[in-house]
Amino acid sequence: MTTITSEKRIIDREPEIIRDFLTDLSNFESLMPEQVINWKSDRNTCSFTIQGMGNIGFEIAEPPDQDTVKYISGPSSPFPFSLFIAVMPYGINSTEAQLRLEAQMNPLMQMMASKPLKNFLDLLLERLNGLMAG
C-alpha cells in the first residue's frame, strides 16, 4: 500500500462549510488543474481524464464523520485507492485540512506516480483554500 500525504493547511472557514463543499463531488471541478479534461460528476461520483495519465474516477465512500471525508476509486481508475480529506477544527472559525491518498500500485507505478500525486494533492488543497477564502 502506498500512502501519499499533502501538506497541512489552515483554511479560514468552519469545518462544517468545508465538509459540505467536499461532500458534493460536483464542486471538485473547481479544484482541478488545467490538465483535467472530460469532467463528469454528480453529487456522489465524478470521473475525468488527466492528460498524459488516463482516466480516474471516485465516489464518496460513506457519510463523512466529524473530521474526515472519504472517497474510493471508481471503476475507471487505473488502480484502487482511497482518498481521505481531514477537516479538523483549528481555533475559532478555522480548519486544519490535509489530504491522504492510500493506493494499491505496483512498485514501478509508485516510483513514477508518487511525486505527481503529491503535487496534485497539494494543488487540490491550495485551490480549496483559495475558494474558501474568496
CA distance 111 to 40: 29
State how many domains the chain has.
1
Cβ neighbors of 100 (< 8 A, separation 6 or more) are 3, 4, 5, 6, 83, 84, 85, 86
Range of the domain at 73: 2-133
Q: Return the CATH number at 67.
A: 3.30.530.20
CB-based contact 5:98 (threshold 8 Å): yes
Q: Could you read off the pLDDT tens digit of each residue along the chain, which spans 134 residues?
A: 899 999 999 999 999 999 999 999 999 999 998 888 999 999 999 999 887 777 889 999 977 677 999 999 988 788 899 999 999 999 889 999 999 999 998 888 888 888 988 999 999 999 999 998 75
CB-based contact 61:72 (threshold 8 Å): yes
